[in-house]
Structure 1
Amino acid sequence: MRSATIKEILSGEGLLREVTVNGWVRTFRSNRFIALNDGSTINNIQCVVEFENFDESLLKKINTGAALKITGTLVESQGRGQSVEIQVKDIFVHGTADPEEYPIQPKKHSLEFLREKAHLRIRTNTFAAVMRVKSALAFAIHKYFTDNGFYYFHAPIITGSDAEGAGEMFRVTTLDEKNPPLNKEGEVDYEQDFFGKETNLTVSGQLEAEAYAMGLGKVYTFGPTFRAENSNTSRHLAEFWMIEPEMAFFDLDANMDLAEDFIKSVISYVLKNCEEDLEFLEKRLLDEEKTKPQAERSEMALRDKLRFITDNNFKRVTYTEAIEILRNSKPNKKKKFQYPINDWGADLQSEHERFLVEKHFKCPVILFDYPAKIKAFYMRLNDDGKTVRAMDILFPGIGEIVGGSQREERLEVLKQKMAALDIPEEELWWYLDLRKFGTAVHSGFGLGFERLVLFATGMGNIRDVIPFPRTPQNAEF
């Protein structure tokens, strides 16, 4: 008999039919009731064992964490908490779990403890729910771009350029770390390295995606990126995934239209297709909020926060307007901002972004036309010479979630910007070629996938929405 998933069994029809299911034991009560879960749903299925029908030595192998194959008859449940249960006819033990050693016991574990058991934490309801939502988001992202005429592009992971200009990159080398070859100047001779030059792990696939957009029209990347920032905050990872669409013939307005429609679409998808997991995560978040001081509690339940995105038009505001709003706000005048806003040109912090979304406009916000000095070299310079065609999308509870811009398509202007930042033309000769041969208006944006998952699941730490987090001093598993 073909085994079925628990999700299939619980959503199917017909009692008194024989079913076979595989899964892991969550609990085994009174040597009679097995709560089995296979990861297909937040729900367990209860399997009822008649003690006298099974050898005692077999039943002793059934503990929390054990993997079982169970065959039996699906019947209406006699107990509370489930509509159906399995009257067990046969049990096969795939693998046991010593209760003295198995760490994921049926009790509340702290998230910090579970990070130390990242290889096993997926067997908890919380992490299984998060990862199912994450999977649904990934599918929704690919579906959206495919339905809208985009082509999926794999950007290189190893690169010789720094798209962000931050310089905080992981080096890739095969040279002897204890005795590297040196050149005449006494510096490491990267010409003898594997790639013949200094290379790093990518911080972004944007520049390469621009090249392919200028031939395919609309492309998107969805792949791993790396930042060597020594940051231990709840919002930073050294390895994470990025979604980066690039579109030829799109100006900033078209870019903002696409970004808003894209985000609404993928969040609508999980609201529709992840109801049980979101309900569980919402309850978990409400329980967690009760332990916080009143001032730190969220004003919206999880699904209300998601609907806040899908049901509202995004307010579009220039950086200059936003600075005036913030400068004249009560928190700024009463010095309640950790980073006071005084002058035009300040780099906005999360507290400022959240004030604009949650307190002032009370809807998602797109800020645009930022000062050139606080944005990357590839963003198109406005006619005022001071601002660039950049845009950031701001969400409640998180601040910036998307960053993008209209790209600088004018060769001479791009050269001037690179020179001002000491970016060598020979390093990005191919990027300049795109402006020499058939240049055109084009735009794009970047969305950190784990940031989106963090928002969609209500989790408080980004290390809990990626299977095996990579952070400073931590590359376990």
Structure 2
Amino acid sequence: MFTNCKKVLIPLSKYRRYSDTKSVLQIIEKGQIGQKVFVKGWIKSIRKQKTGTFLDFNDGSTMQNLQLVILHSLDTKISVGSSVSATGVLQKSPKGQNEITADKVKLVGECDLAKGYPFAPRKSYEPKYIREYLHLRPRTRKFASLLRIRHAATLAIHQYLDKNGYFNIHTPIITSNDCEGAGEIFKVMPDNEQLKKSMVKENQPLDSAYFDGKAYLTVSGQLHLEAAAHSLNKVYCFGPTFRAENSRSRLHLSEFYMLELEQAFMEKLDDLLDIVEDLVKNVTTVLLQNNQGDIEMCRGKKLDDSWVNKEFVRIQHSEALDILTNKLNKVVKPNVGISKEHELALTEYFENVPVFVTNWPLEEKPFYMKGISNNKVAAFDLLAPNIGEIAGGSLRENDYDQLKSKISSSNPHLEWYLDLRKFGSVPTGGFGLGFERYIQFILGIDSIKDCIPFPRWPHNCSL
């Protein structure tokens, strides 16, 4: 009955009623000279000359401003930052750019700069200062570019994975397990004394009453993805994850977004590395094709994308240690692992090409990673220039007895996870890519706090 089903795409225009409003992007790219247009947005600058008043106008659809030429008197309440609507005729400026000769400009929302608006016209500010005004930060030109790039990268990721047969799975934000086993978890419990008292059972602590057990904000959707992969084969999730790590460094957030992918019948680590490399290169290429202006706005210069056309370096953990100690004269402490300084040194050594470090010591990785010879696991970290680790993953342990021996000591509440190895088990593999760290890498942004709309870190959750 369903063997010949096909996807049917119905044009949105059949259902959507469009207004007469045109976006700045539409007007700049496709506007017809002589056409009457109606726009809504914000004033970015005002220049008064003898021939008229010139407003730089933007509605967020593009980094390029549209010029409004006002030949009549302008409402004195209209200032930089004000929201306005305008009608006029689209014309060519003396420089050959589209502009609107406005016959009407209506003030929608006043922006009185004297009342404490923190960003003065034509003045630049340090990221730390701008970060003090998270609710107003999207109005700065550079951060607006960042938000458009986040959208474009998110869309490119979904399109790439859909094209390659992966299904998007919504994994839970509230969970009963700590996937990584590092203890960097936020506990979830009701903030309502009456509710808590009504749900408390005899001899049960308050923090376990609501869910009949302790619950946490997720550090990873991986384990739930593995359950889905045992049915759908190729799956991914892309959502917020949380780490209760007491760090305010330029590379850490308490809440961040992570792309996670799991695939069944995955037997070779190199096959997994191929997927990661192709994904990163593909998404970056799409951004370079469609968002070059916003990228240059964020970076202050063009992106050196030479690495996109090169194969990522692949070295084993033991090789990385040899390079660090014998060629770069770095001190690697036993049982500590490769530090951030070491990660950056390795990418610099390989001329700023991303580096896969594979086959890690068993004791340095979580319980679910597949064991191989010499107390190693089939795992990888992907290191990016100037950032360090942006992704990590592994083949998953699919031997029931091996996995049970690890779970019994680290997490006794994962019987359901063991069931995946009991009923129709297959080899699986997957990875997690830190979205904000990828954005940092592409845009050359120093602090990860400037790669997410509303960052959370220790001692900061102001809105």
Instruction: Give the corresponding residue for 1:397.
Output: 386
Q: How far apart are 1:176 and its partner, in Å?
A: 5.7
Instruction: Give the corresponding residue for 2:97.
Output: 83
Instruction: Give the corresponding residue for 1:274.
Output: 291
Q: Deviations over 1:415-445 (max 9, x none)?
A: 12224xx2243x0010010011111111000
**Aligned Cα RMSD in Å?**
2.1
Give the stretch that moved more between structures: 307-316 or 399-408: 307-316
Q: 1:38 aligns with which of 59, 66, 70?
A: 59
- Asked if 1:430 is matched to 2:406, the reply is no
Compared CA separation, residues 196 and 74, structure 1 to 2 (3 A) = same
> CA separation in 1, counterparts of 2:295 and 2:310?
20
Instruction: Give the corresponding residue for 1:336.
Output: none
Give the AA of the match of 1:196. Answer: D
- Do 2:307 and 2:352's aligned partners in 1 also have CA atoms closer than 8 Å? no
Q: Deviations over 1:153-206 (max 9, x none)?
A: 000010111001011211111276699778887x72555x22111111111000
**SS of alignment partner, residue 219 of structure 1:** strand
Q: 1:50 aligns with which of 71, 76, 80?
A: 71
Give the AA of the match of 2:385. Answer: P
> CA separation in 1, counterparts of 2:370 and 2:328?
34
- Do 2:369 and 2:379's aligned partners in 1 also have CA atoms closer than 8 Å? yes
State TM-score, norm by structure 1: 0.87
Q: 2:35 aligns with which of 1, 17, 20?
A: 17
In the TM superposition, what are the counterparts of 1:5-404 in structure 2 within 5 Å? 5-30=23-48, 32-51=53-72, 54=73, 59-78=75-94, 83-101=97-115, 102-106=117-121, 107-174=123-190, 188-190=205-207, 193-251=209-267, 252-283=269-300, 303-304=303-304, 307-332=305-330, 340-341=331-332, 343=334, 346-360=336-350, 362-384=352-374, 386-404=375-393
Q: Deviations over 1:1-46 (max 9, x none)?
A: 7111111111125322222211101112227111111111111111
Q: How far apart are 1:87 and its partner, in Å?
A: 1.1
Give the AA of the match of 2:43. Answer: V
Give the AA of the match of 2:105. Answer: I
**Runs of at least 5 residues in structure 2 that lack an aligned partner in the other structure:** 1-18
> CA separation in 2, counterparts of 1:393 and 1:13?
44
Q: Deviations over 1:110-134 (max 9, x none)?
A: 2122112111111111001111111
> CA separation in 1, counterparts of 2:351 and 2:97?
45
Give the AA of the match of 2:303. Answer: R
> CA separation in 2, counterparts of 1:27 and 1:189?
56
> CA separation in 2, counterparts of 1:144 and 1:11?
26
Identity level (%): 40
In the TM superposition, what are the counterparts of 1:445-464 in structure 2 within 5 Å? 445-464=431-450
Aligned length: 437
- Do 2:299 and 2:445's aligned partners in 1 also have CA atoms closer than 8 Å? no
- Segments of 4+ in structure 1 off by > 3 A? 175-185
Instruction: Give the corresponding residue for 1:290.
Output: none
- Asked if 1:409 is matched to 2:394, the reply is no
State TM-score, norm by structure 2: 0.90
Instruction: Give the corresponding residue for 1:3.
Output: 21
- Asked if 1:469 is matched to 2:455, the reply is yes
Give the AA of the match of 1:273. Answer: N
**SS of alignment partner, residue 303 of structure 2:** helix
